[in-house]
């Protein structure tokens, strides 16, 4: 379809980037990135109409996204145009080219295209020996100024290296180290730094990627306040492993709760830092407000809960429930990872697997039937019933009625 519509417009159309890389690696990838040599927006409108999808246009960049049912989406870009100004009266000439588009990408393995026009359907476009790099499992930039143009690519290099078990090629690694040495990204004010860090921390196995970032000298940029962490010490490495374990533990429970691993990693990394240091990090990387609020509140709640529970000699279920009830999965898994006391780890486990799902046997309607008047005290009564049940003081409805009467 895409190719046929492109033909109607007399454009060349290509699928590019990660999709092609993963296709050659025989890995699934449902994100389609299309590049057309022509007006991408007009093309997207037509294709959107044809596929019955919603089209979101970004006029300024000549790009559009078609949103299809079931979260499928197709990104469409215009092969970036190069303008050649001729002197005197001659008009400006527009040259669009897939080659130029591919040359501006991050790594050779992401710089291949497959043509979609029916006549050349399936033709692989590989100007930069990308297939060979894919075979060699090498991450290579396309030119020496790549990291100068866009330092966020360093995070992408590490992410792909660890995800696919590839190696950042020698020369490319040298360019990264140079960029770090030149302090190319003293400022973190490009929001893409945080976007890329988040993607890296959400990968299946983030801790080797973090170690690699440390080894490439990126920690002082990421966490300038964390002096002891400038090189990864044993305790820090241990925390990362624990984080990975706590996430793996949670996954094995096959629960439906959604959670975001990057939050757990960031909380762990800054576990020994003050709230101010975490707030500084959020400011520096311009985190969206909702991410910032989540990080700060989970840290505060989790650290308080841990402090509170560690101070107790004997932990009742109700203590655990009250200490943890405002935490999200992210805060709980963070605690699981960094808590030093086994009791606290056990408490998290009990809370996540059972305690948080408990409810009293009586509900509001029962209380009404028992002659209690609905109102704010209802909530308190139900809570008291819940805590009693958690501690085993009640186990039947009659126990609960008796408990209320006491
Ligand atoms: P993933 O499998 O993680 O989605 P991807 O390669 O599809 O990987 P995207 O972030 O979706 O990654 O980017 C799509 C494509 O856009 C990449 O394959 C790459 O060609 C290009 N790209 C993305 N970010 C950059 C960048 N910072 N600089 C240059 N090209 C980039």
pTM equals: 0.88
What pLDDT, on the 0 to 100 scale, is given for residue 224? 82
The stretches in the chain having pLDDT less than 50 are 93, 95-96
Sign of CA dihedral 14, 19, 21, 23: negative
Nearest to 47 by CA among 81, 77, 16: 77
Give me the DSSP letters along 234-280.
Answer: HHHHHHHHHHHHHHHHHHHTT------HHHHHHHHHTTTS-HHHHHH
User: Nearest C-alpha to atom 15 of ligand 1 is from which residue?
Assistant: 17
How far is ligand 1, taken at its centre, from the CA of residue 177, in Å? 22
- Looking from the CA of residue 33, the nearest atom of ligand 1 is 14
Indicate the DSSP class of residue 107. Answer: B
User: Nearest C-alpha to atom 2 of ligand 1 is from which residue?
Assistant: 18
Q: Are strands 124-125 and 138-139 parallel, antiparallel or unpaired?
A: unpaired
Indicate the DSSP class of residue 86. Answer: P
Report the alpha-carbon angle 216-107-218, nearest 5: 15
- Cβ(361)–Cβ(278) under 8 Å? no
What pLDDT, on the 0 to 100 scale, is given for residue 352? 95
Give the residues surrounding ligand 1 with Cβ less than 6 Å away: 17-18, 29, 31, 33, 105-106, 110, 150, 152-153
What pLDDT, on the 0 to 100 scale, is given for residue 93? 46
- Looking from the CA of residue 29, the nearest atom of ligand 1 is 2
User: Nearest C-alpha to atom 17 of ligand 1 is from which residue?
Assistant: 17
What pLDDT, on the 0 to 100 scale, is given for residue 138? 98
Give me the DSSP letters along 328-386.
Answer: -HHHHHHHHHH--SHHHHHHHHHHHHTGGG---SS-HHHHHHTTPPPSHHHHHHHHHHH
Give me the DSSP letters along 141-206.
Answer: BSSTTHHHH-TTHHHHHHHHHHHHT-EE-HHHHHHHHHHHHTTTTS---SHHHHHHHHHHHTSTTH
- Cβ(116)–Cβ(20) under 8 Å? no
What pLDDT, on the 0 to 100 scale, is given for residue 377? 82
How far is ligand 1, taken at its centre, from the CA of residue 18, in Å? 6
User: Nearest C-alpha to atom 21 of ligand 1 is from which residue?
Assistant: 105
- Looking from the CA of residue 192, the nearest atom of ligand 1 is 27
User: Nearest C-alpha to atom 3 of ligand 1 is from which residue?
Assistant: 18
Instruction: Supply 311's token pair.
Output: 């101070």
- Express each pLDDT in 278-319 by its tens digit: 999 999 999 999 999 999 999 999 999 999 998 888 889 999
What pLDDT, on the 0 to 100 scale, is given for residue 300? 97
Kind and range of the H or E element at 79?
A: none
How far is ligand 1, taken at its centre, from the CA of residue 19, in Å? 10
How far is ligand 1, taken at its centre, from the CA of residue 16, in Å? 10
Cβ-based neighbour number of residue 65 at 10 Å: 17
- Cβ(334)–Cβ(271) under 8 Å? yes
Nearest to 153 by CA among 124, 92, 111: 111
């Amino acid at each position: 379809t895409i190719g046929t519509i492109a033909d109607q417009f007399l454009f060349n159309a290509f699928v590019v980037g990660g999709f092609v890389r993963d296709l050659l690696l025989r890995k699934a990838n449902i994100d389609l990135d299309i590049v057309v040599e022509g007006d991408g927006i007009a093309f997207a409108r037509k294709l959107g109409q044809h596929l019955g999808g919603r089209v979101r246009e970004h006029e300024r960049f000549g790009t559009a996204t078609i949103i299809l049912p079931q979260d499928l989406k197709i990104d469409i870009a215009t092969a970036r145009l190069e303008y050649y100004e001729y002197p005197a009266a001659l008009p400006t000439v527009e040259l669009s080219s897939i080659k130029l588009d591919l040359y501006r990408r991050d790594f050779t393995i992401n710089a291949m295209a497959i043509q979609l026009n029916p006549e050349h359907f399936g033709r692989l476009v590989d100007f930069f020996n990308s297939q060979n790099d894919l075979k060699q499992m090498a991450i290579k930039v396309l030119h020496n100024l790549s990291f100068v143009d866009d330092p966020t690519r360093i995070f992408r290099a590490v992410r792909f290296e660890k995800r696919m078990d590839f190696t950042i090629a020698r020369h490319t690694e040298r360019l990264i180290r140079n960029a770090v040495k030149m302090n190319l990204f003293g400022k973190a004010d490009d929001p893409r730094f945080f976007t890329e860090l988040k993607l890296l921390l959400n990968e299946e196995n983030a801790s080797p990627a973090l170690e690699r970032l440390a080894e490439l000298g990126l920690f002082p940029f990421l966490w300038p306040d964390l002096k002891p962490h400038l090189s990864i010490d044993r305790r820090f490495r241990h925390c990362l492993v624990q984080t990975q374990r706590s996430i793996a533990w949670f996954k094995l429970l096959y629960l439906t709760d959604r959670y975001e691993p990057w939050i757990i990693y960031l909380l762990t990394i800054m576990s020994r830092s003050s709230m101010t240091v975490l707030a500084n990090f959020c400011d520096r990387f311009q985190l969206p407000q909702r991410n910032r609020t989540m990080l700060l509140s989970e840290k505060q709640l989790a650290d308080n809960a841990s402090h509170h529970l560690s101070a107790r000699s004997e932990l009742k279920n109700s203590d655990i429930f009250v200490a943890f009830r405002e935490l999200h999965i992210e805060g709980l898994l963070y605690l699981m990872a960094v808590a030093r006391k086994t009791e606290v780890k056990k408490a998290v486990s009990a809370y996540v697997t059972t305690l948080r799902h408990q409810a009293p046997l009586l509900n509001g309607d029962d209380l009404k039937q028992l002659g209690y008047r609905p109102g704010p005290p209802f909530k308190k009564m139900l809570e008291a019933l819940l805590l009693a049940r958690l501690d085993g003081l009640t186990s039947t409805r009659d126990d609960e009625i008796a408990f209320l009467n006491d």
